[in-house]
């Protein structure tokens, strides 16, 4: 039985869904600043904050980026993209830094949900990371980690399922299932 109603944070985590279709409503600078601030307040090892963010609102650049992925309709339909990068010059431990950027992205996804915005975390675009960096005129020290498509969700029902905790967690030793 899922835990709900205990806090706004838990409710947001449990109710967030990936959104792949958006309305045309532009996302304002105040909303973008809230999203970016949520991202920058993620934890990072030694507080090195290895993330860098590219904010993309120009329809021409969004269209160019949409050509870098099989999910072009999702990217081209979003009024806002945020590309998250690892600044390799500020990296001290790659694994920890990549994890920190994942936490940063999750913070931004949750902030968007709290603002009533829809998001989807795009990873397949990493296959074209060099082209993305070229389009965004990024130096080679920035390694693309993900692109987040953001916008007001188009109407529609979104559902999802998750595996049981007993399939994912164990107690003390591997093989001893966690009982919910």
Q: Tell me the whole-structure pTM to 2 decimals.
A: 0.92
Phi, psi of 20 (to 5 degrees): -115, 0
Helix, strand, coil share of the chain (percent; to 5): 40, 20, 40
95: in domain: yes
pLDDT bin (cut points 50, 70, 90) of residue 5 is: low
List C-alpha distances in Å: 34 to 27, 76, 83, 180: 11, 23, 16, 36
**Each residue's pLDDT tens digit, 109-135:** 999 999 999 999 999 999 999 999 999
175: in domain: no
46: in domain: yes
Cα separation, 136 vs 65, in Å, equals: 9
Q: Which residue is listed with tokens 């902030």?
A: 111
Domain that holds residue 54: 18-158
CATH number of the domain within which 97 lies: 3.40.109.10
| Residue 2 confidence (pLDDT) above 60 | no
24: in domain: yes
pLDDT bin (cut points 50, 70, 90) of residue 4 is: low
**Each residue's pLDDT tens digit, 131-162:** 999 999 999 999 999 999 999 999 988 888 99
109: in domain: yes
Count of domains for the chain: 1
């Amino acid at each position: 039985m899922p835990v709900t109603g205990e806090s706004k944070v838990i409710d947001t985590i449990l109710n967030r869904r990936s959104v792949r279709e958006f309305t045309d409503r532009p996302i304002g600078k105040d909303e973008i600043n809230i999203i970016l601030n949520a991202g920058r307040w993620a934890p990072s090892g030694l507080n090195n904050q290895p993330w860098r963010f590219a904010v993309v609102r120009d329809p021409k650049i969004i269209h160019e980026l949409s050509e870098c992925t099989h999910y072009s309709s999702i990217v081209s339909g979003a009024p806002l993209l945020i590309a998250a990068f690892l600044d390799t010059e500020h990296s001290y431990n790659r694994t920890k830094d990549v994890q920190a950027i994942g936490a940063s992205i999750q913070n931004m996804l949750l902030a968007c949900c709290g603002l009533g915005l829809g998001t989807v975390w795009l990873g397949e675009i990493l296959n074209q990371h060099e082209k993305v960096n070229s389009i965004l005129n990024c130096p080679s020290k920035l390694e693309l980690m993900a692109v987040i498509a953001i916008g007001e969700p188009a109407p529609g029902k979104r559902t999802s399922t998750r595996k049981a905790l007993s399939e994912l967690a164990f107690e003390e030793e591997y093989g001893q299932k966690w009982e919910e």
